[in-house]
Each structure stands twice: as structure tokens, then as C-alpha cells.
Amino acid sequence: MRGLFITFEGIDGSGKSTQISRLRDYLVDKGYRVVLTREPGGTSIGEKIRELLLDRESSGMHPLTELFLYFASRAQHASEFIIPLLEQGVTVISDRFHDSSVAYQGGGRKLGIETVEDLRKLATLGLEPDITFYLNIDPTVARERMGNRMFDRLEAEKLGFYRRIQNAYGELLKIYPGRIKLIDASGTPDDVWKRIEQQIEHLWKDRRSR
């Protein structure tokens, strides 16, 4: 049987990594073979693209250049890594996938949510997650979590950027109400995990009754 493809989404500081490892432990406990991965990255070509994208010296990058680099990393990731694993029956959990491009480049960088959404099929090789956990957190709370207390003009701009991203995720929830699960990411890691666990149990029940 084909493995499950699970993705995590949310703004920086939403606490994805903690929840991803908890979900991995939970699934391994249930007997699943699980592999964790992330975007940008996940392959050696992808990791090189990641360096280029996250390098401070890349600050002058045009939003379209940025979009196509994320796409380049994703095409490699899907074809070389994710799809073959799923075909071997492995469950793949990815920290971010195409929804991030819609939210960050479409919303955050103002390329347009629809513009990026329209390219989904091409950019993902048609690969769609079975389930996506969107960890929703207020950008001011996320920033506090990241320990960033300075609030100057640049920070105010950043807050606007993150609000646009949050808004784009809200639009994606409307487009994919079945696939994307809205998770309240406030509270302790335990609180958040309980919310995710509940959703997973629902999913199992649905699968069993089918």
C-alpha cells in the first residue's frame, strides 16, 4: 500500500518541528515506516538551493526568482525523494510543501495567491498531501516565541509580511477544507499535540470505515 504524505505548514515560530517529531514517534509506535523531510531542501540539489535562498546575501532577490528556486527545490524533492518513498509504502512527513509557496510568495511577497496556486500541479508533479496540519499562531506570539523583542520599523514591516502569509493560509483553508486541518498552535506543545492527535484519530476512523 502507498504511504501517507503528511505536510506541516505555518509561519516561522509556529512550533512545527516539535509537533513533527511527536507525530513521527506516534506513527512509528503504530508500526508505520516514517521518514521526515523539509522544504526547501530534502535532496542534495535541494539543500544547495536552500543555502542560496536562506543566505543573508540573497536579500536583493526578486520575488519571482525566489518562487522559482522554491519550485526547483520542490520538483527535485518530489521526484527524487518523496514519490519513490510513498511508492515503497513509507509515510513521508514534510516540514512545508507547496502551500508555503502560496502563502509566502503569493501572499507575503505579493505575487498573488491565485498566481502561485495555479502553478501547483506543474510545480509538485501532481503530488498532493493526504493531510496537512496548518499550525495557526498570531504573528506577534510567534515572534515572542522566537525570542525577538526588538520592535523597530523593520519589525513592523515583517509583521505585515506575516499577516499577509497568515491571510493566504486562510484562503488555502477555504480551497482545501478536507485536506488542510486548522490547528490552534497557541498554548504548550502538549496542548497543540493533543489537537493534532485528535485529528489523526479521526482520520484513522474514516479510513477504517471506508
The binder of ligand TYD chosen from 49, 77, 94, 104 (CB under 6 A) = 104
The binder of ligand TYD chosen from 3, 95, 124, 185 (CB under 6 A) = 95
Q: In the bound complex, what is the minimum distance in angstroms from residue 70's beta carbon to ligand TYD?
A: 4
Which of the ranges 99-107, 131-139, 153-161, 202-210 carries the binding residues for ligand TYD, by CB under 6 A?
Answer: 99-107
Nearest residue by C-beta to ligand TYD?
104
Smaller CB separation from ligand TYD, 12 or 130? 12
Which of the ranges 55-63, 94-102, 118-126, 149-157 carries the binding residues for ligand TYD, by CB under 6 A?
Answer: 94-102
Nearest to residue 86, comparing CAs of 10, 21, 2, 170?
2
Are the CB atoms for 127 and 85 separated by under 8 Å? no
Assign 3-state DSSP to the chain and report helix, strand, coil percentages, each to 5. Answer: 60, 10, 30
Q: In the bound complex, what is the minimum distance in angstroms from residue 203's beta carbon to ligand TYD?
A: 23
Place of cell 477555504: 174
Which of the ranges 26-34, 57-65, 101-109, 173-181 carries the binding residues for ligand TYD, by CB under 6 A?
Answer: 101-109
Place of cell 509556529: 14
Q: How far is CA 209 from CA 93, 180, 200, 206, in A?
A: 24, 21, 14, 5
The length of the chain, given as a count of residues: 210
C-alpha cell at 129: 498531501
Q: In the bound complex, what is the minimum distance in angstroms from residue 118's beta carbon to ligand TYD?
A: 15
Asked if 101 is part of the footprint of ligand TYD (rule: CB under 6 A), the reply reads yes
Which positions from 18 through 77 interact with ligand TYD, judged by CB under 6 A?
A: 38-40, 54, 70
Are the CB atoms for 93 and 22 separated by under 8 Å? no
Smaller CB separation from ligand TYD, 155 or 201? 155
Smaller CB separation from ligand TYD, 50 or 181? 50
Alpha-carbon gap, residue 71 to 73, rounded angstroms: 5
Asked if 12 is part of the footprint of ligand TYD (rule: CB under 6 A), the reply reads yes
Helix (H, G, I), strand (E, B) or coil at 155: helix
